[in-house]
Amino acid sequence: MKKLLLFAGVVVAMFTSCSKGTAPFTTDSGLNSKDFEIMVDSIQTQLYVMKNASGMEVTFTNIGARIVSIMVPDKEGKMTDVVLGFDSIGKYQNIPSDFGSAIGRYANRINQGQITVEGQTIQLPTNNYGHCLHGGPKGWQYRIFSAKQIDPTTIEFSLFSPDGEMNFPGNVKAKVVYRLTDDNAIDIQYEATTDAETVINMTNHSYFNLNGDPSKPITDNILYLNADKFTPVDSTFMTTGEITSVFETPMDFTEPTAIGARIDDDNQQLKNGHGYDHNWVLNTNGDVNSLAASVTSPVTGIVLEVYTDQPGIQIYTGNFLDGTVTGKKGITYPRRSAICLETQVYPDSPNKFIQGVEGWPSGYLNPSEVYHHHTIFKFSVAK
């Protein structure tokens, strides 16, 4: 009982300090809270910490509502940081990245940066092979969110995106709520409303390295996807509109398979994606209680399970990391040193939907609707 009381006292003290920005502190992951405190656009940036009764720790910054670190136990009980990121707010500001961020307005790519809203074509900024990627060059990952730490295991980030931001229509109010459960899961709830028709597709863009050593590739990690189909892309990473079976292709992860087992096969989709950078069509039918994906490290035994109510998941294997970015603890991140599991509606869904392409979700949000998205990242150790 004394240990429980002591732990509760530590959590309350940490909750108080990071929510009010008082005394500096160092996290279990080695981050210094003072390195995350500046004023941007009249909003205070800070380092926020959640910790559960099991000792798992997750830290955040309100620039991009980002996850900065995730400390979970490995098979030996050693606490291990399993995400890429930076150790100061300045690096998040000055080094372009999506590390850990809440992506918006529209995660993934929109073809040639064009959408049709109320019969009119709107040109969005293009920032990736002629397409609009992750909301454009100044997407929500670079915006300062307002933060409210509700309790030691719950934090809410909110953002107002004005009509015309990155040329997207509608005044949008968005919210991301992270909750840390005692069974070592990060429960993420997204919500958005608009006053005019627009497109919305939010996701989390954490780069996971379950080996706990981001100086090396994660191609030995075992990936499972509850998906019989995927959406092929062309050489500019744009979805073609097809929905194709994964069977007898390197895209088949319906049986757990090492990420690197076929990643360099002589396959046109792998060439187009420079590896895996594709959307899979989940079999889960929007059931957040059904396993959508899992990744297992053979080194640490750490398992990440993904649950979501979204129809798709983008798997990206860090193909464009190249050793030029230095992250936490002075570690440079080489190619394929992480995997992203971005739950979402499909890339370019608004255009495919309005063109009547069969099987594609809408991606549109109207003033009479509320956008909801629920995803869970659950950690455990392989038995």
* 118 annotated active-site: no
What integer is the mean pLDDT of 298-316?
98
pLDDT for the residue numbered 3: 38
Is a pLDDT exceeding 60 seen at residue 182?
yes
Indicate the residue type of 87: D
Least confident of 9-18, 135-144, 282-291, 357-366: 9-18
pLDDT for the residue numbered 180: 98
pLDDT for the residue numbered 133: 98
- Which residues, 6+ apart, have CB-to-CB distance to 51 below 8 Å? 10, 11, 14, 28, 57, 58, 152, 153, 180
The 3-state DSSP class for residue 272 equals helix
Instruction: Please tell me which residue in 205, 242, 248, 278 is annotated as part of the active site.
Output: 205
pLDDT (tens digit, 9 = 90+) per residue, 56-100?
A: 999 999 999 999 999 999 999 999 999 999 999 999 999 999 999
Instruction: Please tell me which residue in 131, 156, 342, 373 is annotated as part of the active site.
Output: 342
What integer is the mean pLDDT of 156-185?
98
Indicate the residue type of 370: V
Q: Give one DSSP letter per residue of 109-163, joined into a string.
A: EEGGGEEEETTEEEEPP--BTTBEETTSTT-GGGSBPEEEEEETTEEEEEEEE-T
pLDDT (tens digit, 9 = 90+) per residue, 1-49?
A: 333 333 344 444 344 334 445 689 999 999 999 999 999 888 899 999 9
pLDDT for the residue numbered 14: 46
pTM reported for the whole predicted model: 0.94
Indicate the residue type of 365: L
pLDDT for the residue numbered 42: 84
- What are the beta bridge partners of residue 185? 378
* 278 annotated active-site: no
